[in-house]
Structure 1
Amino acid sequence: MLSTKLPRLLNIDEIPQVFQEHGILFGYRHPQSSATACLLSLFQMTNETLNIWTHLLPFWFFVWRFMSMLCVTDVQNDSYSWPLLVYMGTSCVYPLASSCAHTFSSMSKNARHICYFLDYGAVNLFGLGSAIAYSAYTFPDTLVCTTFHDYYVALAVLNTIISTGLSCYSRFLEIQKPRLCKMLRVLAFAYPYTWDSLPIFYRLFLFPGESAQNEASLYHQKHLAMTLLASFLYSAHLPERLAPGRFDYIGHSHQLFHVCVILATHMQMEAILLDKTLRQEWLLASSRPLSVLQITGAILLGVLFSLSNIFYFSAALYRTPEPEQRKKET
């Protein structure tokens, strides 16, 4: 029987502090699990199981949508669709990276950090893909071809690099300064998201323009609302904070956060698809489309410098002594 081969789960008192989650008391995997044990845990109810599946299943859904779009797009000649394909490609990357991070994060302390470094890089790459799609399809009429529009994607690339570095750095503060760690990590994702969403805020709450007054606005509103809910759940650790031990396996904040993030991405994707279709004539006549060099340059720079951040901080893990070792040396 498969169940006889599954490893015993631990409680919070049996694992190092770096593996402990606020308000989660039971269902922890062994902190030195093998890769095989991590994969088997996909089919065992642990406190990470639904974290994995709430992103692994949507990954396949987004892949299906991406492949469907590829099949009906003349990739070589339809330059108007290139930003959409980049966005849909990055929307497949972050759920896969997240599910892998949660799957293999119990192999060791350093493996846990490196898994989440890669997760943060994938999330920021998705943010850059969103900025490219927003620049191409969702900008309100009055901001199209402005200086803000011209430098929007370039600054999104810079935000991607800074955000990846800041979120990776925050993991070094988890034990000694947990509040500062949480604050930096929330900031690392909040400020690039705010930058990316500035044209949406302007469009929804100020002057959308005639071409931007369409059905996509409702999906943009839903996307913003779902993102705010996801941010609240990530920061507040509710409901497990109010009833420790009651939501260890089902219903804790990170699972709810994952669901809200996926729903937000779905709403965002629908909004971008509608804008791309409904505004095509106006945008082709009034805006300067992103060139293949601008799109590939932005993605390559984002990937290159984010990976550099990840390699740097991964190497730093092995140069930084453990807290107990620092005390002995002192």
Structure 2
Amino acid sequence: MLDTTRFAYYVPTLSFSFEHDIRARFQRLHLRAQSLFISLQSMSKYPCTANDVPAIFREPFIRRGYRSIHKPWSYYWKSLFHKHNETINVWSHLLGIVYMFYLLYYYNQRLNFFGNSHSWPFAVSLATATIMFACSAFAHLLHSKSDSIHRTCFAIDYVGVSLHGFGSGFLHIYYSAPEWYYNKIEYQYIFILLLVAITACVLNCFAQHHYRRPYPPMKRVCQFLPCGILWVYSVIPLIVRLVPMQFPLDTISMCHAGQMIFFIIGATLFAFDLPQRFCPGTLDFFGQGHQLFHLCIYFVTICQMHGVFWDYEASRTIIDQRTKPDLIFCAGSMICLILCDIVAVWTFRYWLCVKKQTD
């Protein structure tokens, strides 16, 4: 039998015994973790509850940590460094911007964006992802100032969503689609992708400006349906590449399948307000479905970029023999989408101002 006394003599800092009550230890560990989690959720600096702010600022099943409205702009900028129910949402996407710049540097070393025109679709996708993270971070940081600012901030957030969906599709069709599919549908695919991305932004802006709380189910239909169509259309080249699946999957196929799985998980948590639906008020600071969605988007981006890069490496001889992408086509399509989305945001913002004056 093992002499635990001698073991404890040589390692005196460890309290170890086979006779120790393991169940009691786990109970104490659980209580400590629970206490730490409860204290983590405390947000005394921003004591507003859901009852203290107008309905438009309330999030389902989030009870505390709301910021006051109609404060100076400095109040919201300074809240970046304080604890409230949007802190994690803001910082997760600010760190996402840093990560995008790292990927820009990392892939530029390997693809030479300035000298290799076949790498331009990759640069476009990195740019659209960076804009998406920036739009979301600033929307979550500044939206609490007023009703109109709230609607405008999240309309700008939809610009980022529209751009990211477009950039993802652009990336997939150029590097990951089978050659026969690329030759058959390249320009038609990009044109339809552009229209779907614009439609997603327009319908989300419409839903944000038209509907009032308590929101009818149609609001979510107007928001999630076009975004879902945009996502499905953007991953069609991956689906064509993966079907029929052959197991075991290689590393590249695992990346492509992984990014789709992570997106579906994140979108489900976000769309159905999970897990805070089952414990209202418990996840006000950390653990909300929206935050988990942000985390899933990180994994989507990692899987997407690495999987597509390896596709390019594996098919570089074929891809480099194609007609070189036109800079105006690559950058121009992205700029066209940005301008159309800005027009949509401005139009609905103007419509909101006119409606306020007539009320």
TM-score by length of 1: 0.89
Does 1:275 find its partner at 2:286? no
Does 1:301 find its partner at 2:336? yes
TM-score by length of 2: 0.82
Structure 2 partner of 1:189:
227
Q: Superposition RMSD on alpha carbons, in Å?
A: 2.1
For 1:255, give the aligned amino acid. Q
CA distance in 2, matches of 1:54, 1:77: 33
> Residue 27 of structure 1: SS of its match in structure 2?
strand
Equivalent in 153, 178, 184 of residue 190 of structure 2: 153
CA distance in 1, matches of 2:68, 2:57: 10
What aligned pairs does 1:13-52 form with structure 2 within 5 A after superposition? Answer: 13-52=51-90
Equivalent in 221, 224, 237 of residue 273 of structure 2: 237
Range moving further from structure 2, 75-84 or 98-107? 75-84
Offset of residue 227 of structure 1: 0.3
CA distance in 2, matches of 1:214, 1:291: 32
What aligned pairs does 1:26-175 form with structure 2 within 5 A after superposition? Answer: 26-70=64-108, 73-146=111-184, 148-171=185-208, 172-175=210-213
CA distance in 2, matches of 1:120, 1:269: 22
How high is the sequence identity, in percent, across the aligned residues?
A: 23
CA distance in 2, matches of 1:237, 1:54: 18
Runs of 5+ in structure 1 lacking a partner? Answer: 1-5
The answer as to whether partners of 2:202 and 2:341 remain within 8 angstroms in 1 is: yes
For 2:335, give the aligned amino acid. L
For 1:20, give the aligned amino acid. R
CA distance in 2, matches of 1:178, 1:247: 25
Q: Deviations over 1:210-247 (max 9, x none)?
A: xxx96321100100000000110111101111111111
For 2:168, give the aligned amino acid. S
Q: Deviations over 1:260-282 (max 9, x none)?
A: 11211121111111112221112
CA distance in 2, matches of 1:221, 1:104: 35
The answer as to whether partners of 1:33 and 1:107 remain within 8 angstroms in 2 is: yes
CA distance in 2, matches of 1:206, 1:297: 35
Offset of residue 284 of structure 1: 2.8
> How many equivalent pairs are there?
313
Offset of residue 8 of structure 1: 3.8
> Residue 46 of structure 1: SS of its match in structure 2?
coil
CA distance in 2, matches of 1:174, 1:142: 48
Rg larger for: 2
Equivalent in 307, 318, 321 of residue 356 of structure 2: 321
Runs of 5+ in structure 2 lacking a partner? Answer: 1-43
CA distance in 2, matches of 1:232, 1:289: 39
For 2:333, give the aligned amino acid. A
Equivalent in 230, 253, 256 of residue 217 of structure 1: 253
> Residue 237 of structure 1: SS of its match in structure 2?
coil
